[in-house]
Amino acid sequence: MSPFERAVGDRLRLTRRRVAAGSVLLALAAAVSGCASGSSPAAGTAADLTTAKTSAGTVSGGTLVVGLTAANLPSADTVLAGQQGNEGLRFVAYQLYDGLTRLDLDSTTATPQPQPDLATSWSANADATVWTFRLRTDVAFTDGTPFNADAVIFNLDRYFDADSPFADPSIQGLAASYVPGVASFRALDADTVEITTRTPDAGFPEDAANLFMASPTAVRKSGNDGFASSPVGTGPFVYEGSANNQLTMAANPRYWAGAPKLDKVVLKPIPDSAQRTAALRSGSVNWVEDPNPDDLAGLKDAGFQVLSNSYDHDWTWVFNLQAGPLGKAQVRRALNYGIDRATMSSDLLHGTGNASYQVAPVSNSAYSKSNDLYSYDPDKAKKLLAEAGYPDGFSLTVEYPTAGSGNMIPTPMNEELQADLAKIGVEVKLLPTEWATLLTQYQSGKFAPGVDALNISLPFNQEAIWSEAFGTGGVINAGGYSNPHVDELIAEAQKTVDSDKRYAILQTVAGLVTRDAPWLFIVNDRAPRAMAPSVHNFTQPKAWFIDLTKASVSN
């Protein structure tokens, strides 16, 4: 074995995929966009404020202070930033580090496509199992270490090789979830690397954006335990430090793609939405993630900017198909007909979520309006329950998170679903659970004893979601869903490099899954965020992630 090659092979055990507020995944290529019948936000709601640029001339500099939904500061060590969800990747990993690819986050209307980043180009073999990346030759880490193929192999070893001296179970578990199926890798020369996947993976360029490159010199110097407090990447910002429950990053003046306009970014965990709004109004922050929908109209009236946009997000109940009434597709379809998504979207969420009538989010490449099956029809729901042998209904227990990245306002949303389903004779018992605990259960592929459904938010921005959530034995297929035809089509999509043909296959997959109804399809979030009028030049893309290099804050 050459010093450039580290075959992972069977040594890498693919762990349960980190998802939703807990995973974190990148956006899909070219989406078919649109709203389902009844899913368009009502006129005058906050979702009408989807102006994605807050431009004010040539303002430059300033400090962006962000109120996060997370309870704790994200780690600054590459993929570990995602331990509490995509929010940590969004504001830490994507600011301190670069990947081999990146997403084009400049558009407000198109689903972001993978673009060159630390790799200038890439190609695949006919089976989409061997990917060759050509690297930039003019980039250095902020500690002066050259970026080259050796640096890439060092990072891939850390992510995927259990025998690496810097192997860490948490890092490798997250890396395997963000970039699944890596089998081996090697350097072909100083500026070229080759990555082989276990199975065909036509969507691998999207995944490669999650291969955050850390300085080998810094990792060796600090070790895994110390690197998070002295991280070094090639990204647009550099780590200044964490103190008093806030993390500070400064602009990288020598960033290879051009220095950011901002001087600094400060992150503050504020898990309570009311406290985030109060912090924005008081001026202690100038940007908040996921404000309470009830606060948005007042913030807008007070002169704050409110932005939102559809993206690859699904807020759902995952059904336990292994026993009880939910093992029958007829029952699962009944529940899907028994909820009033449109009213939830307009009245409770004030347009900050799109009603979801199928499995694929409306901004996803697998979305086709023809698959919107489940309008609100309580009479049909009762009829289906009676035909399934439950004329008097039944009871079920739903475990749900009380907060967390991507989870919107889970308690009132679940209470509204509880009320809807009571009207068709289904008694829902709600079991509130801390988000990290629920994620651990979900990633284990098991339901807690007595739990019939898990409420969770999931990202659909990587195509691996289809095999992992709906393929037989998929790593996050906790409910035990299985359809051999779905398995065949997913395998066909994975080896279809032509994106239009692949998306057509995935739309067929989405239709089959929607008809089988292994989930309760509820809403897709629109990523609302509010910011002070002093924040300029920010574009809100149709993605989980954002580009802060063009943003600025005026005095």
97 and 164 in a single domain? The answer is yes
407 and 521 in a single domain? The answer is yes
Helix extents (H) in 407-521: 410-422, 435-443, 464-470, 484-494, 499-516
Q: Is residue 284 part of a domain?
A: no
Q: Which residues are CB-contacts of 194 (< 8 A; sequence separation ≥ 6)?
A: 130, 131, 132, 133, 185, 186, 187, 188
pLDDT level of residue 319 (50, 70, 90 thresholds): very high
pLDDT for residue 65: 99
The answer, yes or no, to whether residue 38 has pLDDT greater than 60, is no
Q: Is residue 499 part of a domain?
A: yes
The answer, yes or no, to whether residue 30 has pLDDT greater than 70, is no
318 and 227 in a single domain? The answer is no
Residue with tokens 């060092």: 154
Report the CATH number that the domain containing residue 93 is assigned in CATH: 3.90.76.10
Q: Which of 218, 233, 255 is the last residue in one of the domains?
A: 255
Q: Is residue 302 part of a domain?
A: no
Q: What's the rounded mean pLDDT across residues 282-287?
A: 98
Q: Is residue 68 part of a domain?
A: yes
The answer, yes or no, to whether residue 372 has pLDDT greater than 70, is yes
Q: Is residue 502 part of a domain?
A: yes
Report the CATH number that the domain containing residue 420 is assigned in CATH: 3.10.105.10
Residues 212 and 230: their CA atoms lie apart, in Å, by 15
What are 52's two structure tokens? 């994605």
What angle separates helix 293-301 from helix 273-282, to the nearest 10 degrees? 10
pLDDT for residue 437: 87
pLDDT for residue 75: 97
> How many structural domains compose the chain?
2
pLDDT for residue 55: 52
For the ranges 64-78, 85-99, 102-116, which has the lowest average pLDDT? 102-116
Q: Is residue 465 part of a domain?
A: yes
Q: Which of 255, 274, 296 is the last residue in one of the domains?
A: 255
- Residue 450 is given by DSSP the state T
Q: pTM of the prediction?
A: 0.84
Residue type, 452: D
Q: Is residue 509 part of a domain?
A: yes
Q: Which of 26, 489, 383 is nearest to 212 (CA)?
A: 26
374 and 479 in a single domain? The answer is yes
Which residue(s) pair with 134 in the sheet? 121, 192
236 and 356 in a single domain? The answer is no
pLDDT for residue 29: 26
DSSP string, 20-85: GGG----PPSS------TT-SPPTTSGGG--------TT----EEEEEES-SSPPPSSGGGGGTT-
pLDDT for residue 51: 43
373 and 509 in a single domain? The answer is yes
pLDDT, tens digit, 9 for 90 and up, residues 504-540:
999 999 999 999 999 999 999 999 999 999 999 999 9
What angle separates helix 149-160 from helix 169-178, to the nearest 10 degrees? 110
Biggest CA pair distance of the chain: 70
Q: Kindly provide the residue ranges of all beta strands, DSSP E only, lying in 160-256, ordered along the sequence.
A: 182-189, 192-197, 237-243, 246-251
pLDDT above 90: percentage of residues in the chain: 79
pLDDT for residue 57: 55
pLDDT for residue 193: 99
pLDDT, tens digit, 9 for 90 and up, residues 184-204:
999 999 999 999 999 999 999
108 and 232 in a single domain? The answer is yes
245 and 372 in a single domain? The answer is no
250 and 332 in a single domain? The answer is no
**Domain ranges, residue 351:** 313-525
For the ranges 58-62, 84-88, 92-96, 306-310, which has the lowest average pLDDT? 58-62
What are 199's two structure tokens? 């199975």
The larger pLDDT score, comparing residue 27 to residue 371, is at: 371
Q: What's the rounded mean pLDDT across residues 452-468?
A: 92
188 and 337 in a single domain? The answer is no
198 and 92 in a single domain? The answer is yes
Q: What's the rounded mean pLDDT across residues 10-15?
A: 30
pLDDT above 70: percentage of residues in the chain: 89
414 and 508 in a single domain? The answer is yes
Q: Is residue 292 part of a domain?
A: no
